[in-house]
């Protein structure tokens, strides 16, 4: 009877060790899966951040080019028409006012030449 109980205990120990190994493998798998998912999340976030940064750089470059082009155009216009600064400002204001819908236009501009 003692031998039989001893064998049963050995089997119980083997079952417990097998269960312990199974649990260790499951935990290890979950940890590896979580680490992989963490890396995926980081990669996605870094990609989105880089895309936003690139888009913002492109937008600012575009705005800078438009601004530089307008500055060059106004400089040439001023030179070709021999305008002084107040006359150039009047020209620009007139151009801006013409582009707005008169029904939606409320304008109050204080100009340096009007003071």
pTM score: 0.53
pLDDT given at position 63: 96
pLDDT tens-digit profile of 6-43?
888 989 999 999 999 999 999 999 999 999 999 999 99
pLDDT tens-digit profile of 85-114?
999 998 888 887 777 776 776 666 666 655
Sketch the domain layout of the chain as residue ranges.
2-82, 83-115
d(CA 93, CA 109): 9
Residue 105 CB partners (closer than 8 Å, separation 6+): 97
Secondary structure class of 106 (helix, strand, coil): coil
d(CA 14, CA 20): 10
pLDDT tens-digit profile of 42-67?
999 999 999 999 999 999 999 999 99
d(CA 26, CA 20): 10
């Amino acid at each position: 009877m003692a031998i039989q109980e001893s064998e049963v205990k050995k089997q119980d120990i083997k079952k417990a060790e097998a269960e312990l190994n199974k649990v260790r493998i499951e935990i290890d798998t979950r940890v590896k899966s979580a680490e992989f998912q963490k890396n995926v999340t980081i990669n996605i976030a870094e990609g989105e951040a880089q895309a936003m940064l690139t888009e913002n750089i492109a937008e600012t470059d575009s705005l800078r080019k438009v601004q530089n082009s307008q500055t060059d155009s106004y400089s040439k216009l001023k030179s070709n028409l021999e305008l002084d600064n107040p006359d150039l400002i009047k020209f620009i204001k007139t151009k801006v006012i013409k582009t707005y819908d008169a029904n939606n236009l409320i304008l109050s501009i204080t100009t340096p030449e009007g003071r």
